[in-house]
Amino acid sequence: MRFGEANGPYDDQFASLLDSAITLTASSSITDGDGDTASDSETVNIGANISFADDGPVPHQCFGQQLGHIG
């Protein structure tokens, strides 16, 4: 994220994770009636699906004080 810009555009300010930064793993095993077993697992990289967007600064009223006009 970049700071210090008085006016956007903020729509193009994204930070994304590397795809391998977060993985999701599912495992399964089963045993049938006569004792045969089977198991499997799968791992998927999901980090690239997570991003953070900067929508710009927003003034807020704090501790009962009034904010003046900004800009």
Query: Where in the sequence is the domain holding 21, given as residue range(s)?
Result: 14-53
Could you tell me if residue 26 is inside a domain? Answer: yes
CA proximity to 16, closest of 42, 45, 56: 45
Could you tell me if residue 63 is inside a domain? Answer: no
The total of other beta-carbon atoms located within 10 Å of residue 22's CB is 14
Could you tell me if residue 5 is inside a domain? Answer: no
Could you tell me if residue 8 is inside a domain? Answer: no
Could you tell me if residue 36 is inside a domain? Answer: yes
Could you tell me if residue 46 is inside a domain? Answer: yes
The total of other beta-carbon atoms located within 10 Å of residue 46's CB is 14
Tell me the pTM.
0.48
Per-residue pLDDT of the chain (71 residues; tens, 9 = 90+): 455 555 666 667 778 889 999 999 999 999 999 999 999 999 999 998 888 887 777 776 666 555 555 55
User: What domain count does the chain have?
Assistant: 1
